[in-house]
Structure 1
Amino acid sequence: MVTPDSPARKGRRPGRLGPLPWIAPAVLLILAVVLWPVYEMVRTSFLRVSTSGFVRGSAGLDKYRKLFGEADLGHVLLATVAWTAAVVALTMLLSLGLAQLFNQRFPGRRYARWALIAPWAASVLMTSIGFRWMLDRTAGVLNTALTDLGLVDGPRDWLGDPSTAWPWMVFVAVFVSLPFTTYTLLAGLQTVPGEVYEAARVDGASPWQAYRRITLPLLRPAFLVGLVINLINVFNSFPVIWGMTQGGPSSDTATSTVFMYQLKDTDIGESAAMSVVNFALVVLMVLAFLKVSRWNQEES
């Protein structure tokens, strides 16, 4: 007879835990670096906090009312949507072409693949500051070159004018996003069996038909992974904009993430409220995208 305290029963207890001992460290890490900061972020948005960090009591919903009353908030949200859409669309389109190129055999392909890693290996903030120096009005190499070539009458303040600052920031954001997305799509392309293309050629399919009916459907999982990760990264992008314009002048080149950082100088509680809004927008955006794209459904 096996009693509750018998050795046989004690020996079976660890097995009942299943995979818990193995995943427990990962769960604890998620709790420590994700869920706890989210909790603190939400809690802070309901507090009155001085700029020196001292809590002055509860603020209720006052910080959210103050946030939604900000004159720049509407412009910042529209700019964030336009920024995210432009960077993600250009990144996915260019990465798809580069992945197709690197999937072909040509002289120097290995070195071209290595070169593509450079923007990804370098610090995004360092890259942004480098472009800011290049675009500097007085000492930037771009103004110097264009002036010497007679293409401009005089030095231009590329980052001081939102109409020229936004295109340059989009360019830099695409530049640093291309490596990861290209390699994600390249990995997807390399999983497509070559026999499938041979069978398509035998059946008389043109290259465009094979690409549309074979490559794109089989590339869909990798494409969706790259798209979702880019949506999250670009929406939350901070180093590119802060390194180039710091969201200025005023908040004319700020996205919601940069705007949140700007608010901390005057009201930490309001900045936390903007963080909560950003977090909610990211979650809703990803859930809506996965719903529309039918992430969990196979192609019919």
Structure 2
Amino acid sequence: MSLASTAPKAPGPSRGEPPRRAASKPRRSGLDRLGPLPWIAPAVLLILLVVLWPVYEMVHTSFLRISSSGFVRGSAGLDKYRKLFAESDLGHVLVSTVIWTVTVVGLTMVLSLALAQLFNQQFPGRRLTRWALIAPWAASVLMTAIGFKWMLNQTAGVLNTAMTDLGLISGPQDWLGKPSTAWPWMMFVAVFVSLPFTTYTLLAGLQTVPGEVYEAARVDGASTWQTYRKITLPLLRPAFLVGVVINLINVFNSFPIIWGMTQGGPSSATATTTVFMYQLKDTDIGESAAMSVVNFALVVVMVLAFLKASRWKEDES
């Protein structure tokens, strides 16, 4: 008898039983084939409707000739951009915007860094002062601007009344009627409403610094200034960059403060590019749209230039 005849045979289907098929993978339903798309679709749709569509309409409108009543009269080509760059007020508005943005963001970051350092220490009433700092952030920016406008009113403002009673000024001053005094007050209000967010951003960054790092620095004999410069500031850099970028965008596009206090006047003497854009809509909607496109481009270039200068990508890698 051969070995082949004695070897056990693999069990097979009995006579009359259909052959078994190999187990097949379960079929994926239609939703499974789409992967994560159903979950991210609402966010993508929201971005398309809220961000990309308005940008498209803004650019498209800047090439149209639109009547004062809102009817499209045909294509204007680049005429609206030529008209915009021929505006006599555009030059000083651009300069004012740069000064406004740099000054407000710079003061905000310096003061917020000092406040964050203070709130990171233990002292009586720390919780109360932290809550109090939220007030300018919780209130409406336009409401805050109008409140300061009433305080600075020439005839009934509390500032003129108090300073006159104290003998600091000889008579009521029109603080918002002259650019030389209106700009500093608007910058003060802008810093005032920007401090809470920036301070809490930097405070969150400070509280992520491990205490063991400071202990090691003290053991190595590092002074307070060396510890702050070599440890605190480098570790705080990500939070600092976030604060700067968000403040650059917010301050550059700031509209409620300036419009609520001076409406950019007299003429466009206290206007930034955002307020100037709004002023142009009363005379030419297409030119106003062209100013919007220029504003959008300036914001993108400004933020990209700052991120490049701060080497954001190198820090992330």
Band the TM-score falls in, shorter-chain normalisation: over 0.9
Q: Superposed, which structure 2 residues align to 1:63-102 within 5 Å?
A: 63-102=80-119
Match of 2:210 among 190, 193, 199: 193
2:242 alignment partner in structure 1: 225
2:268 corresponds, among 246, 251, 260, to: 251
Contact 1:128–1:244 (8 Å) recurs in 2: yes
CA distance, structure 1, for counterparts of residue 221 and residue 28 of structure 2: 67
What secondary structure is seen at the aligned counterpart in 1 of 2:169? coil
Equivalent residues in 2 for 1:118-133 (5 A)?
118-133=135-150
Deviates more, 1:50-59 or 1:37-46: 50-59
Distance in 2, Cα, partners of 1:41 & 1:185? 35
User: In the aligned structure 2, how far is the partner of 1:97 from the partner of 1:299?
Assistant: 26
Task: Output the amino acid matched with 1:164.
Answer: T
Q: Find the counterpart in structure 2 of residue 47 from structure 1.
A: 64
Partner residue, 1:169: 186
Tell me the distance in 1 between the aligned counterparts of 2:217 and 2:33. Answer: 51
**How far has the Cα of 1:7 moved from its partner?**
8.6
- What SS does the corresponding residue of 1:57 show, helix, strand or coil? strand
The normalised TM-score by structure 1 is 0.96
Match of 2:133 in 1: 116
1:120 aligned counterpart, secondary structure:
helix
**Distance apart, 1:17 and its partner CA:** 3.0
TM superposition score normalised by structure 2: 0.91
Are residues 1:180 and 2:197 paired? Answer: yes
The answer (yes or no) to whether the contact 1:135–1:159 under 8 Å persists in 2 is: yes
Amino acid in the other structure paired with 1:9: R
Which residue is 1:295 aligned to? Answer: 312
Partner of 1:243: helix, strand, or coil? helix
CA distance in 1, matches of 2:297, 2:305: 12
Q: Distance in 1 between matches of 2:25 and 2:94?
A: 63
Q: SS in structure 1 opposite 2:234?
A: helix
Output one character per residue of 1:89-129: Cα deviation in whole Å (capped at 9) or x when no partner.
Answer: 00000000000000001000000000000000000000000
Give unmatched runs, 5+ long, in structure 2. 1-20
CA distance in 1, matches of 2:116, 2:281: 41
SS in structure 2 of the partner of residue 254 of structure 1: coil
What is the CA–CA distance in structure 2 between the aligned matches of 1:45 and 1:181, rounded to whole Å? 35
Q: Which amino acid aligns with 2:104?
A: V
1:270 aligned to 2:278? no
Could you list the per-position Cα deviations for residues 210-259 of structure 1 after superposition, in whole angstroms to 9, with x for gaps in the alignment?
Answer: 11011000000000000000000000000000000000000000000000
Q: Deviations over 1:172-205 (max 9, x none)?
A: 0000000000000000000000011011001101
Once residues 143 and 269 of structure 2 are traced to their aligned partners in structure 1, the CA distance between those partners, rounded to angstroms, is 22
Map of 1:131-150 to 2, 5 A cutoff?
Answer: 131-150=148-167
User: Which residue of the other structure, out of 223, 238, 259, is the alignment partner of 2:255?
Assistant: 238
What is the deviation of 1:16? 4.3
How many angstroms does 1:53 deviate by?
1.1
Give the Cα–Cα distance (whole angstroms) in 2 for the partners of residues 202 and 74 of structure 1: 56
**Contact persistence 1:261–1:271 (CA under 8 A):** yes
SS of the aligned residue for 1:253 comes to coil
| 1:91/1:178 contact within 8 Å kept | yes
Aligned to 1:155: 172
Q: Which amino acid aligns with 1:10?
A: R
Q: Could you tell me which runs of 5 or more consecutive residues in structure 1 were left unpaired when the two chains were aligned.
A: none
Q: Secondary structure at the match of 2:65?
A: strand
Contact 1:217 1:299 in 2 (8 A): no
Secondary structure class of the residue paired with 1:296: helix
Tell me the residue number matched to 2:13: none
> Percent of aligned positions with the same letter in both sequences?
84
Determine which of 24, 28, 34 is the counterpart of 2:45. Answer: 28
